[in-house]
Amino acid sequence: MEAYPVRKNLESPKKEITYESALREEGIDEVFVARKLKDLSRAQGRRWNPKKGSWEKFEDYGTQLAALREIAKILGIYAVEKDLENENRIRMINISAIPFRRELANPITNRQQDSSG
C-alpha cells in the first residue's frame, strides 16, 4: 500500500500520518480484510414472502461475486500484463455457480400472441 501523507501528527511534528498507518491504528489490516471478504463471500439477504407472511434468507449472489472478484485479484487468479507475455499459459475461471436471469414472460404465450396478430 502506498503511503500518502494525510496530515502532520500533532503529538510528534516530525512524524506524518498516512492512510495505511491510520487504518492499521484502527485495526484494519490484512487479517481484518481477509475476514470481511470471507464473510462477504457467504453473504445472504432477506426478503419478504407474502404467501408465508415471513422473511426468508436467500443467497446474495451480487455481493458474493464482488467479494470473490476481490479475492481473485488479491490471490492473482486473473491474468495481468506480465502474464500476457506467456501466451501459452491457460487461465480458466469457472463461472458455473453464477445464476443466470430467466425471462419472466412465457415464450409459448408470446409465440401464440405473435402468430395471432
Give tens-digit pLDDT for 40-80.
999 999 999 999 999 999 999 999 999 999 999 888 887 66
**Rounded mean pLDDT, 76-94:** 65
Minimal CA–CA distance to 31: which of 61, 62, 74, 64? Answer: 74
Q: Is the pLDDT of residue 102 over 80?
A: no
Q: Is the pLDDT of residue 109 over 70?
A: no
Q: Is the pLDDT of residue 9 over 60?
A: no
